[in-house]
């Protein structure tokens, strides 16, 4: 069974063909980084215009690479949220039009859940439920208890910035290019992670929740306290101290929840320092990561999860499927 996945929640336009929920036959991703880099972050209107220009060519390329025609698709899965409303409207409208024209079922997929499915797809024989799921991306920070694919209990999420967003904003304070996460990681290699005693955000009413805005402000004050322009060592020490504090926060929260395995999803999980810290702190837990190409936004994870949801529901979503900017787990 071929599922077409469509992903347009933010600044990647992606279409993918996945066979039987797990075999990726094609996964074409067109990134908009070049477009948004000069603004230091995603500009929603520009993102929409690029999706409009590129969605059909990306769809065509995904079919070509999979060596199938539109008529061989059995199911259409689309990320209907969370994300930018204009970008979501484009993806869901394209999916609905295809569903109507091809007379094929349509399934709306939660983009954040799909980030966890990416790790599942990458480690099929190693995952056992229940396990912990952790999403660390530009738009989301969440720790969930996963009973099965599609069955989650939220344990902690962010009350303000997402972790990747904090990386991007701190990078901007340090005059680093967008997206900031990989730049901070690179710079931190030369830095002392203990020079600046930043503290992770603490949410008194619920300590399992994340908060990154205070950490970001602490970085701003550290920068203001130093002679300008910052020396390259100062910048590297700030990057290393910030990165270490943000990841220690994730690690401390995971330590308070017992589980034999943890699966990770989202762009921030590309970070090698994070991966090394987790193996060091959790030698007895099975830690599973998305494979290369599946940690950042992509449509293969949308198609894969869509296949499972459709198998469970047995029916198509309605053509009234609404793009939704915020979806609770
Ligand atoms: O999952 P993703 O593609 O988009 C969302 O769904 O939000 O993640 C993009 C985020 C950006 O904030 C980017 O800075 C961050 O992932 N990121 C990283 C690294 N690579 C990407 N953060 C830290 N270290 C990295 N190596
Ligand atoms: Zn994402």
- What pLDDT, on the 0 to 100 scale, is given for residue 279? 95
Pocket mutation for ligand 1, best pick of 167, 272, 276, 277 (most atoms within 8 Å of C-beta): 167
What's the CA-to-centroid distance between 164 and ligand 1, angstroms? 5
Residue 329, pLDDT score? 74
CA of 299 to the centre of ligand 2 (A): 10
Write down the pLDDT at residue 328: 78
114-142 b/e (C-beta count within 10 Å ≥ 16 → b): bbbbbbbbbbeeebeeebbbbbbbbbbbb
Who contacts 322 (Cβ-Cβ below 8 Å, separation ≥6)?
80, 92
Contact 5 CB / ligand 1 (< 6 Å): no
Residue given tokens 């008194």 in the structure block: 204
pLDDT along the chain (329 residues), means of 10: 98 97 97 91 94 98 98 98 97 98 97 96 92 95 94 95 96 95 98 97 95 97 96 98 98 95 96 97 96 94 97 94 90
Q: Could you tell me the distance, in angstroms and rounded to a whole number, from the CA of residue 64 to the centre of ligand 2? A: 25
pTM assigned to the model? 0.94
For residues 285-303, one letter each, b for 16 or more C-beta atoms within 10 angstroms of the residue's C-beta and e for the rest, the string is: bebbbbeeebbbbbbbbbb
Contact 76, 107 (CB under 8 A): yes
Q: What is the pLDDT of residue 316?
A: 95
Report whether residue 300 contacts ligand 1, using a CB cutoff of 6 Å: no
At 45 the pLDDT is: 95
User: First vs last Cα of the chain: how many Å apart?
Assistant: 27
pLDDT at residue 275 in the model: 97
């Amino acid at each position: 069974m071929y599922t077409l996945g469509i992903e347009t929640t933010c600044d990647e336009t992606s279409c993918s063909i996945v066979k039987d929920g797990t075999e990726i036959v094609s996964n074409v991703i067109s990134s908009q980084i070049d477009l948004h880099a000069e603004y230091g972050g995603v500009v929603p209107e520009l993102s929409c215009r690029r999706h409009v220009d590129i969605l059909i060519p990306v769809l065509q390329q995904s079919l070509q690479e999979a060596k199938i025609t539109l008529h061989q698709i059995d199911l259409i899965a689309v990320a209907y949220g969370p994300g930018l409303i204009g970008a979501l409207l484009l993806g869901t409208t394209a999916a609905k039009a295809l569903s109507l024209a091809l007379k094929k079922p349509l399934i709306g997929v939660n983009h954040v859940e799909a980030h966890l499915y990416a790790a599942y797809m990458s480690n099929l024989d190693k995952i056992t439920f229940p396990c912990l799921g952790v999403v660390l991306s530009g738009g989301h920070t969440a720790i969930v208890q996963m009973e099965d694919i599609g069955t989650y209990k939220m344990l902690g999420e962010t009350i303000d910035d997402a972790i990747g967003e904090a990386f991007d904003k701190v990078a901007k304070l340090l005059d680093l290019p967008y997206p900031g996460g990989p730049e901070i990681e690179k710079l931190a290699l030369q830095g002392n992670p203990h020079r600046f005693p930043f503290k992770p955000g603490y949410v008194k009413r619920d300590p399992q929740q994340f908060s990154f805005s205070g950490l970001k402000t602490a970085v701003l004050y550290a920068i203001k306290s130093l002679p300008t322009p910052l020396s390259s060592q100062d910048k590297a020490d700030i990057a290393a101290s910030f990165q270490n504090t943000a990841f220690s926060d994730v690690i401390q929260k995971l330590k308070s929840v017992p589980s034999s395995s943890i699966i990770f999803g989202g762009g921030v999980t590309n970070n090698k320092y994070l991966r090394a810290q987790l193996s060091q702190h959790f030698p007895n837990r099975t830690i599973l990561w998305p494979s290369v190409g599946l940690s950042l936004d992509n449509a293969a994870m949308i198609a894969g999860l869509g296949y499972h949801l459709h198998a469970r529901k047995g029916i198509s979503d309605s053509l009234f499927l609404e793009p939704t900017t915020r979806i609770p787990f």
